[in-house]
Amino acid sequence: MTSPSAADADIFECRRCGDCCRGYGGTVVDEADIRTIARYLHVKPETFRAGYCDRSGSRLVLAQQSNGYCAFWDQLCTIHPVKPRMCRAWPYIESILVDVANWRAMAGMCPGIRTDVADEHIIACVKEKLRIAS
Ligand code: SF4
Ligand code: SF4
């Protein structure tokens, strides 16, 4: 039996394919993300909002290129050290704890997600990652 503390390698290993950086309704950015990324790009937060974000309902999302990829995707994430919380969290999200079937559904869009793992182990790993991130 594998240990929940070995979460990453056991249930997920990013293949760096970039599929999660394309489409899917956009990457939400909050005010903390905006301040951090703007500082990294050496622009003012208002310049970043105007130049790199789009509105999606009441939220701001990162703008997309005409090919559907995030504005910051160029064979890799060009703002990796400061990428938004939503990108840093993937694929360890709360909804998996509500229904572990969400993990297996997410695997359809992320080749790094392993599905040949027991539900109990997936839940234990996700809980551990969320605990560390909180
Ligand atoms: S879709 Fe999954 S495997 Fe591909 S870059 Fe995103 S996180 Fe990594
Ligand atoms: S910020 Fe980086 S990781 Fe997040 S969607 Fe854009 S390119 Fe992908």
The DSSP bridge pattern shows strands 53-56 and 28-29 to be unpaired
- Whole-structure pTM value: 0.85
CA–CA dist 103, 12 (Å, integer): 11
pLDDT at 4: 44
| Ligand 2 atom with minimal separation from the 62 CA | 6
Order of strands across the sheet that contains 53-56: 28-29, 59-62, 53-56
Ligand with the closest atom to the CA of 70: 2
Q: Is the pLDDT of residue 6 over 50?
A: no
Q: Please, are residues 51 and 42 in contact by the beta-carbon 8 Å criterion?
A: no
Residue among 22, 33, 83 whose CB has most ligand 2 atoms within 8 A, to mutate: 83
Does 45 sit behind a cis peptide bond, omega within 30 degrees of 0 on the bond before it?
Answer: no
pLDDT, tens digit, 9 for 90 and up, residues 35-73: 999 999 999 999 999 999 999 999 999 999 999 999 999
Both tokens of 64, joined, read 């997309």
